[in-house]
Amino acid sequence: DAKTTQPNSMESNEEEPVHLPCNHSTISGTDYIHWYRQLPSQGPEYVIHGLTSNVNNRMASLAIAEDRKSSTLILHRATLRDAAVYYCILHMNYGGSQGNLIFGKGTKLSVKP
């Protein structure tokens, strides 16, 4: 799986939007962009994923650049419970089967009240 680059840490104020960037300049055409987050003392939790088009779900939005070399996870209104490490992962779908996830160090998001 290709490598991703994320800032080590970011800060946000509660109830404000947060944009978490991820660079993946070596992405291939079959790589999906996944975001997971890990709250303190918990296992990672799936947030969202996409291939080419922007995606929205109840947790977040994923904006994917036209050339797919970067993406941004958007939390529309950060809450204190969103404080976590956010991982951007490129995941190749092996003909429909699950490959493993290759995690980097992620971005540690702090949310101030």
Partner 1 sequence: DAGVTQSPTHLIKTRGQQVTLRCSPKSGHDTVSWYQQALGQGPQFIFQYYEEEERQRGNFPDRFSGHQFPNYSSELNVNALLLGDSALYLCASSPLLGQGMTQYFGPGTRLLVL
Interacting residues toward partner 1 by CB under 8 A: 32, 34, 41-46, 49, 85, 87, 91, 93, 96-106
* Residue given tokens 């960037």 in the structure block: 21
Closer to partner 1 by Cβ: residue 53 or 98:
98
User: Taking a C-beta distance cutoff of 8 angstroms, is the pair 24, 82 a contact?
Assistant: no
Closer to partner 1 by Cβ: residue 42 or 53:
42
Minimum Å gap between C-beta 25 and partner 1 is 19
Q: How far apart are CA 77 and CA 92, in angstroms?
A: 30
Closer to partner 1 by Cβ: residue 81 or 105:
105
Q: How far apart are CA 21 and CA 90, in angstroms?
A: 14
